[in-house]
Amino acid sequence: MDLGLSGRTFVVTAASSGLGLAGARALAAEGANVVMVARRADVLERQARGIGERARPMAADLTDPDTPRRAVRTAVDSFGGIDGALVSVGGPAAGSVLGTDDQTYLDAVESVMLPAVRTARAVVSERPDARLAFVLSSSARSPLPAMAPSNATRGGLAMLVSQLADEIGPHGGRAVGLMPGTIATPRITQLHGSGHQGSRAATEGRIPLGRLGRPEEFGSVAAFMLSDQASYVTGCLIPVDGGALRVP
C-alpha cells in the first residue's frame, strides 16, 4: 500500500528514542522528511544520521515556548514546507492523586499539555490543513495506577485533540490521538525497574497478545494515521496496546 507520504514533511518531537524515534523512522521509511526534535544533541544527531538525508536533527527542549516555532521554521527552510507533526511529549512523575503536590501537577502540565498545544499551534499557523498525531497513553481512557499526573494531563490532552479536530477540520486538517499501551521503550523499562508498573511478566500477563509491543509496531500505526490512506480519520483515539484496554 502506498501511504502517499513521499516528499511530505513532519516535525517529530521526543525523537531521540522511544516512540518518537519509532515514528520518525517509520515516516522516513515511507519517503517522508522529518525534523527530529529532542534535548540530547549527541543522541539525536546519531539517530538522525541513521535515518539519513530525510532527517534534520534539532536539539531543543520542547518545554521552551519557542521550540515549536523553530521546528516549523527548520522544516520550511530544510524541505520547503510542512505537512504535519507527530507530537510526543515528556513523561510526568509518578504519584497518587492525593499524595502528589501542586508543583508536580504544574510540572506535568508544562511537560505534557502545553508543549503539545504549542506544537499544534505552530504547525497549523503554517499549514492550516495539517495532519497531527498526538502520542497519548491508554491512561487517556483508563487510569494507570500511581500515575496521577500522567492520567490527568494525557486525559485532558485527549479531549483537546477532539476539539482541535473540530477546529481544523473545515480547512482539511486532521488530528488524532494515539494510545500506546505497554511498548518496550527505555521509559517502560525504567518504570518496570522502579516497581511503578509491576514486573514485566505481570504486565505481559494482562495483555491479550501476551507480550509488550515493539516500538516499530507503534511507528507503523503513527505513519499510517498521518498518511493519505487515513484521510477520513480524525478526532478519535487509536489504541496500540495489544488489546489491553478494556473500555470502548
- With respect to residue 4, please indicate whether it lies within any of the assigned structural domains: no
Cα–Cα distance between 71 and 89 in angstroms, integer? 15
| 3-state helix/strand/coil string of the chain | CCCCCCCCEEEEECCCCHHHHHHHHHHHHCCCEEEEEECCHHHHHHHHHHHCCCEEEEECCCCCCCHHHHHHHHHHHHHCCCCEEEECCCCCCCECCCCCCHHHHHHHHHHHHHHHHHHHHHHHHHCCCCEEEEECCHHHCCCCCCEHHHHHHHHHHHHHHHHHHHHHHHHCCEEEEEEECCECCHHHHHHHHHCCCCCHHHHHHCCCCCCCECHHHHHHHHHHHCCHHHCCCCCCEEEECCCCCCCC
Task: List residues bridging with 58 in a β-sheet.
Answer: 37
What's the CATH number where 46 sits? 3.40.50.720
Closest CA to 83 of 201, 204, 231, 206: 231
Digit-by-digit pLDDT tens for the chain (248 residues) are 899 999 999 999 999 999 999 999 999 999 999 999 999 999 999 999 999 999 999 999 999 999 999 999 999 999 999 999 999 998 888 999 999 999 999 999 999 999 999 999 999 999 999 999 999 998 889 898 899 999 999 999 999 999 999 999 999 999 999 999 889 887 666 666 555 556 778 888 889 999 999 999 999 999 999 999 999 999 999 999 999 998 77
- With respect to residue 155, please indicate whether it lies within any of the assigned structural domains: yes
The pLDDT of residue 195 is 55
The pLDDT of residue 2 is 93
- With respect to residue 135, please indicate whether it lies within any of the assigned structural domains: yes
- With respect to residue 42, please indicate whether it lies within any of the assigned structural domains: yes
- With respect to residue 200, please indicate whether it lies within any of the assigned structural domains: yes
- With respect to residue 80, please indicate whether it lies within any of the assigned structural domains: yes
- With respect to residue 179, please indicate whether it lies within any of the assigned structural domains: yes
Cα–Cα distance between 134 and 118 in angstroms, integer? 12
Phi, psi of 227 (to 5 degrees): -95, 170
- With respect to residue 247, please indicate whether it lies within any of the assigned structural domains: no
Total domains present in the chain: 1
Residue-number span of the structural domain to which 52 is assigned: 9-240
